[in-house]
Amino acid sequence: MPLAAASAAVASGQTVCVTGAGGFIASWLVKLLLQKGYNVRGTVRNPGDSKNAHLKELDGAKERLTLYAADLLHFESLKAAIMGCDGVFHAASPVTDDLEKVDEAIIGTKNIITAAAEAKVQRVVFTSSIGTVHMNPNRSPDIVVDESCWSDLDFCKNKGKQQNWYCYAKTIAEQTAWAMAEEKGVDLVVVNPMLVLGPLLQQTINASVVHIMKYLTGSVKTYVNAVQGYVHVKDVAKVHVLVYETPSAFGRYICAETMLHRAELVEILANLFPEYPVPTKCCDEKNPKKKAYKFSVKKVKDLGMAEFIPVKQCIYDTVRSLQEKGHLPTQPRQSTSFC
């Protein structure tokens, strides 16, 4: 059976739950699931909040999307949304460097896995992060980062003067998910995306998009000496559905297109959008230029993810979306072509 036909067969009549449905990744996931014919239950804090209005406007939402008021810290609210579902996509998680959010991420994860076990769902797809994979100062530069790698928790807690509580929380949450899934017999698959870019469906600005926006508003005058991996939000949603629909999928799946040094990022921004005050100098010109680590997406490609949207397109789509939603002023273009 062709892959498209097989996917349609899987979706037919299935009901899945997407936690944190109003978020950046989750909104695109809901959109894709509806397009494929799934009945979708989306958890949000307040279904009547205007910030979730975009979900109700998606094609198929009127017929096959139900929003549930739920909180990751309140088990019964999650259980009500998950009972009767065939699968769960756990995309809700605090995106913050706040130490106090660590416990919330852990409790939320435990609640999701427990509710999924009680509902006897076929599979849980957990949205994790590359931050659970690559944060390890002891890794040799020659090592290729793949799904077998884990971030060093002590390093995340004691990273100089800038503890990375986000990566710490995501790592602890993912490890908790694996332990709970094994204990309760839940079929768990994890997606580990790099920094996610692309157009916004929601009206609010999410944390990963701020990464781009700050270089266009004049709020920063220099860029940092750092590297970052990127992936398009449409590809992240596609991988989530791919690992859910493929029975042989297992373990973790890194989701990434490429890595860029900030110097490369701002150069792309300046070329695509020369009307904005993109910084041209690095704040750290004394130390050697940071080098990108090697990574592998062989596992997800072997599963059927043939290619990723190029990073230039990711960046272009992000900025155009910010303009269209009024978050960035649209100024006279010095260049009108995308390259």
pTM for the complete prediction? 0.93
Task: With residue 163 as reference, give the H or E element that holds it.
Answer: none
Q: Considering the chain, what is the average pLDDT of its residues?
A: 91
pLDDT for 222 beyond 80: yes
Q: How many helices (H) and strands (E) does the chain have?
A: 13, 14
Q: Which long-range contacts (CB under 8 A, 24 or more apart) does 262-266 make?
A: 262/223, 262/224, 262/225, 262/226, 262/227, 262/228, 263/223, 263/289, 265/212, 265/215, 265/223, 265/228, 265/315, 266/215, 266/223
**In the prediction, which pLDDT does 96 show?**
62
pLDDT per residue as tens digits for the range 277-301:
999 999 998 899 999 999 999 999 9
**In the prediction, which pLDDT does 335 show?**
43
Domain 15-194+233-256+292-308 has CATH 3.40.190.10: no
Biggest distance spanned by C-alpha atoms of the chain: 60
- In the structure encoding, which two tokens stand for residue 111, read together? 């609640």
**In the prediction, which pLDDT does 4 show?**
46
191, 253 Cβ separation under 8 angstroms: yes
Mean pLDDT of 36-54: 96
Catalytic residue among 31, 170, 234, 238: 170
Question: Which band of pLDDT confidence, cut at 50, 70 and 90, is reported for residue 156?
Answer: confident
SS3 66: strand
Does the active-site annotation cover 294? no
pLDDT for 165 beyond 60: yes
Q: Which range among 13-17, 19-23, 73-77, 159-163 shows the weakest confidence by mean pLDDT?
A: 159-163
